[in-house]
């Protein structure tokens, strides 16, 4: 069995995170959107320059899961920017948590735990995440980690407006 290592991403990892982010988002949700809407979203959300900006800022952290040096999953955490009236500057957010389809089964939990520990490195605080309203498996996963639904919002990819649940822990 191949060992999967999780390491903190560095500024030189932006291109890798960009490619992996595009691949994992497309695997998870690509069939939901018109091709041109998906491409425009991926070009904006997973642009290497945008990921570089996250990696350069102390308030954010990203992790890469690698199997024999090949990226198979990633997580991103930082300040919460979800549209909920109880979000404050002290809140953290698990912004992204994706694993390639062939690597699911425990790796997501390891990545989530790594990100959650980083978010709480200075002590307990409220942590938030947005999850698609129709992704029951993800909702169960986050409930096991202590999250509860406290709101909802719309996540837009081109002409598609997905109903998203806002989950909070703490």
User: Which percentage of the chain shows pLDDT scores above 90?
Assistant: 94
Q: How far apart are CA 13 and CA 152, in angstroms?
A: 32
Domains of the chain, with CATH numbers?
4-169 (3.40.630.30)
Residue given tokens 């991403």 in the structure block = 9
The model's pLDDT over 34-76, given as tens digits with 9 standing for 90+, comes to 999 999 999 999 999 999 999 999 999 999 999 999 999 999 9
The model's pLDDT over 114-157, given as tens digits with 9 standing for 90+, comes to 999 999 999 999 999 999 999 999 999 999 999 999 999 999 99
pLDDT of amino acid 1: 58
The model's pLDDT over 72-103, given as tens digits with 9 standing for 90+, comes to 999 999 999 999 999 999 999 999 999 998 88
Q: Which run of H or of E encompasses 143?
A: helix 136-144
Q: How far apart are CA 106 and CA 79, in angstroms?
A: 26
């Amino acid at each position: 069995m191949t060992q999967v290592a999780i390491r903190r991403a560095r500024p030189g990892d932006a291109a890798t995170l960009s490619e992996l982010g595009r691949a994992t988002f497309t695997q998870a949700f690509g069939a939901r959107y018109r091709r041109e809407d998906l491409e425009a979203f991926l070009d904006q959300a997973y642009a290497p320059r945008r990921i570089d900006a996250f990696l350069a800022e102390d308030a954010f952290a990203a992790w890469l899961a690698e199997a024999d040096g090949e990226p198979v999953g990633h997580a991103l955490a930082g300040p919460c920017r979800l549209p909920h009236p109880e979000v404050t500057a002290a809140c953290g957010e698990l912004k992204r948590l994706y694993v390639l389809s062939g690597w699911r089964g425990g790796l997501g939990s390891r990545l989530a735990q790594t990100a959650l520990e980083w978010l709480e490195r200075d002590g307990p605080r409220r942590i938030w995440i947005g999850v698609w309203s129709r992704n029951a498996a993800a909702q169960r996963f986050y409930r096991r980690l202590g999250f509860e639904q406290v709101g909802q919002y719309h996540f837009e990819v081109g002409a598609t407006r997905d109903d998203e649940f806002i989950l909070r822990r703490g």
